[in-house]
A and B are shown apart, each in its own frame.
Chain A
Amino acid sequence: MKPHFLAATALAAALGYAGMAYAEDEDSKLVEPLAAYKSYVADHTEKLLENTTKFTAAVNAGDIAKAKALFAPTRMDYESIEPIAELFSDLDHTIDSRADDFEGKEKDPKFSGFHRIEYGLWTENSTKGLEPYATQLLADVKDLNHRIENLTFPPETVVGGAAALMEEVAATKISGEEDRYSHTDLWDFKANFDGSKKIYDLVKPLIEKDNADFVKKVDENFKVVDDTLAKYKTADGYELYDKLSDEDRKVLAAKVNVLATELSTLRGKLGLN
């Protein structure tokens, strides 16, 4: 590789491209963080499969209390890999879409996945009729886990995903729309933040030398978010979303917006635009 790299630099100099020496050595540094991220995702989908198996078993057994208790913790492993959900958009639709995505809303037979089951458990307070959704959810999660095992992650999707998810939280999730029947949104938030932060943390060593201010700001903003969420931590999870004070909601909304903007520059900083 070296001779070509030198040639590139020489040619770059000849043509007057000052900043062009972003060549192989710099570039291949992304391989380690990307491989580590793949492990992170694969671990989470494995855990998701394990927990979804228990969750759907509770639904099928008609054990409402147990199903409700398992709903939010089970979802966390899904929500933590949402930065790359566009790599499996079909499954994202069947696993995690909202009633608004369907013409007949909650009554639409195509409305499926976690939120369809959530609707049954909380709004209808029953497991009646949920079995087909539970069966499909488990099948979809199995499919997801299997697909992830062999999927090559495009680097720009991974790095771009950290910001994109924060944008989505800021644009829609912050209203409490995602878990509107159970109000377990803070669990999702925690997982979303952890999932985006994981990507940022993995690439941070590659950029901190040249972007000390940026890194300091992003770290601070993630910390404010974490500290705010920590206030709502309970023995086995998080308070319901309506417990979130207006003030803290504002803090979260503001920080998520800032994080979305800041993280959207990561691709550029890593030469992935």
Chain B
Amino acid sequence: MSAPETGNGKPSAPSARLMYLAVAAAAGLVLVGGAAFYVATLKSHHGDDASNIKVAVTSKSCEPNEISVPAGERTFEIANTSDRPVEWEILDGVMVVAERENIAPSFKQTLKVRLAPGDYEVTCGLLSNPRGTLHVVPSEEANAAPTHATMRSFLGPLSEYKFYLGRQSSAAVRTAKDLADAIHAGDLAKAQALYVVARQPYKRIEPVVYRFSDLQNSIDPVADYFEKREADPAFVGYHRIERGLFVSKSLDGLAPVADRLVGDLATLDERLKAMKMTPGILIDSAGNFATQLSRDRLPADKSRNAQGDLSDIEANLDGLGKIVGLLRPVVKPVDPALAQRIDTTLSETENAVAEHKTGIDGAAPDAPDRPGQRKNLVAAFTNLADALNQLPSAIGIDSNGT
């Protein structure tokens, strides 16, 4: 069963936080850690009995079963009036915000927690008991919104993105190997099927990969950039293989290209795993990449089969969506309007891609787009890029050196 979280659900005492805000606002910067310790020693007494919020856990439910408190740091006093040990948890969706476990019958425990405005559920003793409700209403104490994101708020998102990059790049190597195997085995149909799959993981991490220009030039260059175009011996990577599989419909000469691709992707995997993660990787990449897509790539379809082109766009959007999801909790407190705008433009873009897909499904794989569709797609990506490009100034953390 779950491990108890007996400390504060969220970090830092309010006085520390206010102090931090004052300092941060003055300097337009972020700081954490040490300041909290210093200020904590000045902190006045909290949670005297009178201000505690009292809850009794009976054998059937909580009393009261519905509580309303102002946002900020609150202390709950939980009395177990049932005849077995109980736990009391504050839940935000399925996540435990804070909890006390193993409160013995006829004992009281206190729980101090920092609460943001919103509605929470509360577990009350037995799992079969009805849940209680905790309404946390906006308060002045909690209203002092930060104007800049903290490095601390990036720790979770950056760790998660590092994990994501590693997963996707490993998958890119693995699926490219499968593709190379099919090519070596002379199985054209299988290679054609594997090609689209193999490209997905690479396309998801493209917002970051474009930073490694040497690798990008050997993994995913377009023929137009070579002097002799498709016939140029230097033309390698995914698109060289694509040309063989879908235009020439022949595996001639593809084996060494596939082997090279596997090697280059393995190098990429190593580089990503060694890459130092900074907030700029999240803040800048999404906007830069969406801009590149809407301005340079989407208007000129470089793919040689429509289905593949669509898969590329979907995977790219997937990768952008991952970044948006990671930044949402960072952006929302400092610029709720921008957070909303990004979410809206992202879902509009997803809709545009879905519409595009309906147009392509059922059509022959090499059929041209229906007129207007690509224009809609470009417009959606342009709006998304515009919104994402507001991130650096909104988040306020300086993202140089990435």
Contacts and interface: CB of A to CB of B under 8 A. Distances in A.
Interface of A: 1-5, 7-8, 11-12, 15, 17-24, 26-28, 30-32, 34-35, 37-39, 42, 82-93, 96-98, 100-103, 108, 110, 150-157, 160-161, 164-165, 167-168, 171-172, 178, 264, 267-268, 271-273
B4 A164 contact: yes
Nearest to B91: A89
Contacts of A97: 1, 127
Given A85-B1, A86-B96, A89-B91, A27 B152 contact: yes
Given A86-B95, A101-B127, A152 B160 contact: yes
A160 B5 contact: yes
Nearest to A89: B96
B23 interface: yes
Most buried by A among B2, B3, B6, B96: B3
Contacts of A264: 7
B157 interface: yes
B397 A1 contact: yes
Contacts of A171: 4, 101-102
Interface string B55-98: 00000000000000000000000000000110001010011100
Given A90-B94, A110-B127, A272-B11, A168 B159 contact: no
Contacts of B3: 82-86, 161, 164-165, 167-168
B239 interface: no
A38 B5 contact: no
Given A7-B29, A31-B158, 5 more contacts: A8-B27, A19-B33, A35-B166, A86-B96, A102-B128
A140 to B, nearest CB: 12
B99 to A, nearest CB: 7
Nearest to B31: A8
A101 B126 contact: yes
Interface residues on B, range: 35 or more
Interface of B: 1-8, 10-12, 23, 26-38, 84-85, 89, 91, 94-96, 99, 101-102, 126-128, 151-152, 154-160, 162-163, 166-167, 276-279, 325-326, 329, 397-401
Contacts of B12: 273
B163 A92 contact: no
A4 B29 contact: yes
A169 to B, nearest CB: 9
Closest 9 CB pairs of A and B: A271-B33, A22-B33, A34-B159, A19-B34, A35-B162, A86-B96, A164-B3, A85-B2, A165-B3
A27 B155 contact: yes
A91 B36 CA distance: 34
Contacts of B277: 28, 31-32, 35
25 contacts: A1-B399, A7-B28, A11-B27, A11-B29, A17-B34, A19-B37, A19-B38, A20-B31, A20-B33, A20-B35, A21-B34, A28-B154, A31-B158, A42-B167, A86-B5, A88-B95, A103-B128, A151-B160, A164-B6, A165-B3, A264-B7, A271-B36, A273-B7, A273-B12, A273-B36
B155 A168 contact: no
A89 B95 contact: yes
Nearest to A41: B163
B11 A156 contact: yes
Contacts of B29: 4-5, 7-8, 11
A89 B126 contact: no
Nearest to A24: B151
Given A89-B96, A92-B2, A271-B32, A102 B159 contact: no
Nearest to A147: B94
Most buried by A among B29, B162, B401: B29
B155 A2 contact: no
